[in-house]
Amino acid sequence: MINACSFGLGSSVYSASQKRGMKIGKQLRSGMFTVNDFGVNYLIQSLPFGGVGESGFDRFAGPEGLRACCLERSIVEDRIPGVRTTIPSPIDYPIDIRKGLPFGTSLVNLFYNESLLGKIKAIFGLIKYG
Protein backbone atom coordinates (compact mmCIF):
# COMPACT_ATOMS: atom_id res chain seq x y z
CA MET A 1 0.00 0.00 0.00
CA ILE A 2 2.76 2.47 0.90
CA ASN A 3 4.87 1.77 -2.19
CA ALA A 4 1.79 2.13 -4.42
CA CYS A 5 1.83 5.90 -3.77
CA SER A 6 3.24 7.96 -6.64
CA PHE A 7 5.24 10.11 -4.19
CA GLY A 8 8.30 9.05 -2.22
CA LEU A 9 10.38 11.89 -0.83
CA GLY A 10 11.15 10.52 2.63
CA SER A 11 9.98 7.81 4.98
CA SER A 12 10.26 7.08 8.69
CA VAL A 13 9.64 3.92 10.70
CA TYR A 14 9.20 3.93 14.45
CA SER A 15 9.90 0.68 16.27
CA ALA A 16 11.12 -0.52 19.66
CA SER A 17 13.58 -2.68 17.72
CA GLN A 18 16.14 -0.84 15.58
CA LYS A 19 16.75 -4.02 13.59
CA ARG A 20 13.04 -4.48 12.84
CA GLY A 21 12.71 -0.80 11.88
CA MET A 22 15.60 -1.14 9.40
CA LYS A 23 14.09 -4.30 7.93
CA ILE A 24 10.78 -2.55 7.32
CA GLY A 25 12.42 0.65 6.08
CA LYS A 26 14.52 -1.15 3.47
CA GLN A 27 11.29 -2.29 1.84
CA LEU A 28 9.93 1.26 1.51
CA ARG A 29 10.43 3.04 -1.82
CA SER A 30 11.59 6.56 -0.97
CA GLY A 31 14.53 8.85 -1.55
CA MET A 32 15.40 9.09 2.16
CA PHE A 33 14.69 6.89 5.15
CA THR A 34 15.14 7.22 8.92
CA VAL A 35 14.47 4.87 11.81
CA ASN A 36 12.90 6.35 14.96
CA ASP A 37 13.27 9.91 13.71
CA PHE A 38 11.45 12.09 11.20
CA GLY A 39 13.68 14.94 10.16
CA VAL A 40 17.34 14.21 10.78
CA ASN A 41 17.98 13.43 7.10
CA TYR A 42 16.73 16.94 6.24
CA LEU A 43 19.23 18.49 8.65
CA ILE A 44 22.39 16.62 7.62
CA GLN A 45 23.62 18.70 4.69
CA SER A 46 26.21 16.13 3.63
CA LEU A 47 23.46 13.65 2.67
CA PRO A 48 21.87 13.70 -0.78
CA PHE A 49 18.33 15.08 -0.71
CA GLY A 50 15.63 13.95 -3.11
CA GLY A 51 12.90 11.42 -3.69
CA VAL A 52 11.49 8.88 -6.11
CA GLY A 53 8.44 8.90 -8.37
CA GLU A 54 6.62 12.24 -8.39
CA SER A 55 9.05 13.42 -5.70
CA GLY A 56 12.13 12.45 -7.69
CA PHE A 57 13.49 15.49 -9.49
CA ASP A 58 17.17 14.58 -9.06
CA ARG A 59 19.24 15.15 -5.93
CA PHE A 60 20.72 18.10 -4.15
CA ALA A 61 23.01 18.36 -1.11
CA GLY A 62 25.82 15.94 -0.48
CA PRO A 63 28.43 15.12 -3.14
CA GLU A 64 25.73 14.01 -5.60
CA GLY A 65 23.77 17.24 -5.28
CA LEU A 66 26.90 19.36 -5.38
CA ARG A 67 27.94 17.80 -8.67
CA ALA A 68 24.52 18.59 -10.13
CA CYS A 69 25.00 22.28 -9.28
CA CYS A 70 28.53 22.52 -10.67
CA LEU A 71 29.86 23.45 -14.04
CA GLU A 72 32.56 20.94 -14.87
CA ARG A 73 35.19 22.40 -17.12
CA SER A 74 38.79 22.05 -18.12
CA ILE A 75 41.25 24.83 -17.40
CA VAL A 76 44.57 24.85 -19.19
CA GLU A 77 47.49 27.09 -18.36
CA ASP A 78 50.77 27.50 -20.25
CA ARG A 79 53.52 25.89 -18.19
CA ILE A 80 56.49 26.85 -20.36
CA PRO A 81 57.29 30.58 -20.22
CA GLY A 82 57.64 32.22 -23.62
CA VAL A 83 55.99 29.39 -25.55
CA ARG A 84 52.59 30.46 -26.84
CA THR A 85 50.02 28.66 -28.91
CA THR A 86 48.61 30.75 -31.73
CA ILE A 87 45.68 30.21 -34.06
CA PRO A 88 46.95 29.39 -37.57
CA SER A 89 46.34 32.30 -39.96
CA PRO A 90 44.03 30.41 -42.41
CA ILE A 91 41.50 29.84 -39.61
CA ASP A 92 42.12 33.02 -37.61
CA TYR A 93 39.62 35.86 -37.87
CA PRO A 94 38.96 37.02 -40.55
CA ILE A 95 39.00 33.51 -42.03
CA ASP A 96 40.68 33.12 -45.40
CA ILE A 97 37.90 31.53 -47.48
CA ARG A 98 40.28 29.95 -50.00
CA LYS A 99 42.60 28.38 -47.41
CA GLY A 100 40.49 27.99 -44.26
CA LEU A 101 38.41 24.93 -45.13
CA PRO A 102 41.23 22.93 -46.77
CA PHE A 103 43.51 23.78 -43.83
CA GLY A 104 40.87 22.67 -41.29
CA THR A 105 40.18 19.47 -43.24
CA SER A 106 43.90 18.69 -43.31
CA LEU A 107 44.15 19.32 -39.58
CA VAL A 108 41.26 16.94 -38.85
CA ASN A 109 42.79 14.31 -41.15
CA LEU A 110 46.14 14.62 -39.41
CA PHE A 111 44.59 13.72 -36.05
CA TYR A 112 41.80 11.33 -37.06
CA ASN A 113 42.75 9.63 -40.33
CA GLU A 114 43.62 6.01 -39.58
CA SER A 115 46.02 5.45 -42.48
CA LEU A 116 49.63 6.61 -42.57
CA LEU A 117 49.17 7.84 -46.14
CA GLY A 118 46.18 9.93 -45.05
CA LYS A 119 48.24 11.52 -42.29
CA ILE A 120 51.10 12.29 -44.69
CA LYS A 121 48.65 13.91 -47.16
CA ALA A 122 47.27 15.93 -44.26
CA ILE A 123 50.74 17.23 -43.38
CA PHE A 124 51.25 18.34 -46.99
CA GLY A 125 47.82 20.00 -46.91
CA LEU A 126 48.78 21.90 -43.76
CA ILE A 127 51.99 23.07 -45.41
CA LYS A 128 50.19 24.02 -48.66
CA TYR A 129 47.30 25.93 -47.06
CA GLY A 130 49.09 27.18 -43.95
Report which of 55, 57, 35, 59 is spatially closest to residue 45, judged by C-alpha positions: 59
Other Cβ atoms within 10 Å of 52 Cβ, number: 15
> Consecutive sets of 10 residues in the chain, 130 residues long: mean pLDDT of each?
77 87 86 80 72 70 63 62 78 86 94 95 94
pLDDT for residue 74: 56
Answer left, alpha or beta for residue 56, where phi above 0 means left and psi between -120 and 50 means alpha: beta
The answer to whether 130 and 88 are in contact (CB under 8 A) is yes
This prediction has a pTM of 0.43
pLDDT for residue 3: 79
Please state whether beta strands 52-53 and 7-8 pair in parallel, antiparallel, or not at all (unpaired): antiparallel
Please state whether beta strands 52-53 and 10-13 pair in parallel, antiparallel, or not at all (unpaired): unpaired
SS3 (DSSP) at 73: coil
pLDDT for residue 76: 60
